[in-house]
Structure 1
Amino acid sequence: MDARDVAKAMMLAREKGRRGERYLAAGQHMTMAELIPLIARITGAQAPTCKIPLPLLYLLAAGNEAFSRMTGKPVLLSWATVRTIAREAGRSHYNPRKSEQELGLEFRSILETLQDDADWFRNSGRLAAL
């Protein structure tokens, strides 16, 4: 989902949306397994090659939260995030058809969004140049 598309969706919903209706401002549905290789390709990073079992994710999250409490550094993987991953696995699917049909909303390609994001992170010094 691109923030520019979300902003456009909000403007279109105000102009063309029907009162009381809800419109989804999300483009193409993707799983993490589909998204991670795209990010790796665009950033030049190596994509992970193995899946981490859910019990190990909970253990990592607990350790990360404890480390965060001790050091004051941000939590990179929280217990709540892992719980959400477990609950939503295979259940969430986004369909932007209503927003496209009723509002005329067109979404950028995920590749364009990811490339723009990577460029921003590189230009701000948060991601190494290729």
Structure 2
Amino acid sequence: MSDILFWVYMINSVLLINHEIDSAYWKEWDLFKLPGGITGFLLIHIPVLFFVLYGLVLVYQQSYTGLIFSLILSFSGIFAFTAHMYFIKKGRDEFKIPMSMFILVSTLVVSLVQAYLTINLLLK
């Protein structure tokens, strides 16, 4: 199951990184009222992307810490979907194009699978 988790983590990482690229297009810093504009947004993503990629290494190594990183990443994907659906239901136009929606829905599905796999491995 650890091998499957590695690939699911990889897929979710790609989806979430693509979502963050999409977020720059939609100026997500305005949506979440983050300071610093694009500069602040990019600076925030340096440690975030390091975290995501380092977690992939830890999952590959089948470490306990990798499972914790995996759980955090899966919850991040669930949060991304939920937060953006909230804003869409509030009437915001960001992230409503088909590709943005595809990325968000795919992220939710993969994040749920990842959380399931991760929790099963943590309980072993």
- TM-score scaled by structure 1? 0.25
Pick the structure with more helix per residue.
2
